[in-house]
Structure 1
Amino acid sequence: MNTTNKSIVIDFIEQIWNLNQFEKMDTYISDDFIDYSLPSTLPTNKKGMKNWIIGTGKSFEHKTIIDTIVSEEDNVIVKIKMNLKHIGVWRGINPTDLNIKTEGYRYYKLKNKKITAHWALIDGNAIQNQLIPFKNRNTC
């Protein structure tokens, strides 16, 4: 069990995803980092990940909670829960201020105590299904 890598991932999720302390990205992310989970419109590097976090933050206030974490050698996988508040337009749905939840997985590859790669599988359908009743409503 690699507790150092687990700690790095736990701290990264809290500091970068939850608190948006982007000035700390170099503490966690290697220079040759690749994010395999980003939309094709974004670069797959640190800048792309930062832009994704900022972009999703315009649609949702979010808090990622680690449910389960497993680490072996330089690999860490987390099962997460996300608490979201819908504050901005998302997939054509105006802000609803609803508190919604989803779940997913994040997989990290580390080397020399830095994250070198990231993959994610987040249940976007759960988000969509909770918001779809509001798709054609105008909010003011």
Structure 2
Amino acid sequence: MKKIIHTSEAPAAIGPYSQACLVNGTLYISGQIPVDPESGKLIEGIEKETHQVMKNLKAILTEAGMSFDNAVKASIFLKNMDDFAVVNEIYASYFNNDQFPARETVQVSCLPKNVDVEISMIAYKD
């Protein structure tokens, strides 16, 4: 059975999609961009953007009863691959151990609202 996951602690969807869907213990989180859920404003600057994206992912994981420890796959989309090292360091800081999820990082020409970073994630819990 599919359960839609929604929290006001992460930005509302800006299109016809859900923040996340939980199916048989697997959580599929839509791509998160650096929007502050409280103000609805975009965060600027790659470091601040990346922290906000990770906070948004954390809020959705928490709503589903999970944490970054449950993450099994992440996809990072960057507008500029020159930001890779900064994003990578911040991303890694949100995990408690070296049991990182599988991941790819790709450069794209444009992201929603013209942000610099977007991250989607898949997590699993028995």
TM-score (normalizing by structure 2): 0.30
Larger Rg: 1
Quick one: higher RCO (CA 8 Å, sep 6+), 1 or 2? 2
* Bigger helix share: 1
